[in-house]
Amino acid sequence: MTNDMKDLFNQMAPPFSKLIGMKVTRATKERVTAEIEVTANHATAMPVIHGGAVMAFADSLGAMGTFMNLPEGATTTTIESKTNFTGAVPVGEIAYGEATPIHIGRSTQVWQTRITRENGKLAAVVTQTQMVKLPGS
């Protein structure tokens, strides 16, 4: 596994990541970053990014980080996610996401993702727990 897997994640992105227009800009065991251009398809009536789009973006980043820290043959699934919204990202701006690990354990991993606007202001903080599913379990 190389130090930065961003190209692999962009080439082999799951369909949902492609659907939301996510572009991975860095992917290491310690940090995953990506961006989404917020369009009308991501928006509420305001028009700003929908909370569900923020959560889906963060979930994808945390899952990628977990994947890179899994033992051979293991898989992962999200078992808990909490989001604090602190601001909005308007349509036409780029939403930036940065996921970092809080805990890398044998049976779970916890990742925190910060979603920011182009001006650097915080839009959301998402903390998620990923279950590590070992082969044969």
**What's the structural domain count of the chain?**
1
User: What is the arithmetic mean of pLDDT over 84-111?
Assistant: 98
Residue 109 reports pLDDT greater than 70: yes
Given pLDDT bands bounded at 50, 70 and 90, which one contains residue 1? Answer: very low
Whether 72 is in a domain gets the answer yes
Full DSSP string of the chain: --S--HHHHHHT--HHHHHTT-EEEEE-SS-EEEEEE--GGGB-SSSBB-HHHHHHHHHHHHHHHHHHTPPTT-EEEEEEEEEEE----BTTSEEEEEEEEEEE-SSEEEEEEEEE-TTS-EEEEEEEEEEEE-TT-
In a domain? residue 1: no
pLDDT in tens, 40-59: 999 999 999 999 999 999 99
Is position 70 within any domain? yes
- Confidence bin at 12 (pLDDT 50/70/90): confident
Q: Is residue 125 part of a domain?
A: yes
Q: Give the domain range for residue 112.
A: 6-133
